Amino acid sequence: MERLSERMVHARNMGMRLQELGLRQRDLKVTQDHNRHLEELRSEVEWMLDLVQSRLLAASSPREWEDLETLLGAVSRSLRHMLEVGQFPDMAHEDFLPAEEQIRGTLSRITQLPALEISEDSIQSQKTVEEINRINQINLLIQRHRVLHDRKLAVEGTA
């Protein structure tokens, strides 16, 4: 009987260890996903900064330099928002809106395109927007600007 009791204790211990292992694996997956999203964001930010650098190198008049100085201030604010979102990717939608607005405006200035408005799809699926990881939202916003910017360049190249 004592031996059976020892086996039951051992089985419970193993069950608790397996449960703990499962929790650690879940936490690891969350961390890996977060790191992947941050890597994607880094790539998108590099694209943004490359555009800013190309505009800096092409500037030739005092007016362009003043515009670029204002743009650099906007880029700095947007990068600070991105850092905050990177630290708190699950922030509430209401807390994220000012950061999203700042980033959207900065992207518009960098790409020299009109600011993208929230699409009807986004409004209709507000619950989805509220549940999505904020880093992903920034990545999608930058990617949309990148596509539109590339299209603009393609049109200008064929004209």
Residues 6 or more apart whose CB falls under 8 angstroms from that of 99 comprise: 81, 82, 84, 85, 134
Distance, in Å, from the CA atom of 22 to the CA atom of 4, rounded to the nearest integer, reads: 27
Do the beta carbons of residue 107 and residue 74 sit within 8 Å?
Answer: no
Give percent of the chain with pLDDT exceeding 90.
74
In a domain, 129, yes or no: yes
Distance, in Å, from the CA atom of 5 to the CA atom of 1, rounded to the nearest integer, reads: 6
In a domain, 68, yes or no: yes
Average pLDDT, the chain: 88
In a domain, 48, yes or no: yes
Least confident span in 44-53, 75-84, 112-121, 133-142: 112-121
Range 65-85 average pLDDT: 96
In a domain, 26, yes or no: no
Closest to 37 measured CA to CA, from 142, 144, 148: 142
Alpha-carbon distance values, 71 to 31, 74, 78, 85 (Å)? 33, 5, 10, 21
Whole-prediction pTM: 0.78
pLDDT the model gives residue 114: 81
In a domain, 132, yes or no: yes
Q: Output 120 or 147, whichever has higher pLDDT.
A: 147
How many domains are contained in the chain? 1
Q: Confidence class of residue 157 from pLDDT cuts 50, 70 and 90? A: confident
pLDDT the model gives residue 117: 58
Do the beta carbons of residue 147 and residue 53 sit within 8 Å?
Answer: no
Q: Which domain holds residue 78?
A: 37-158
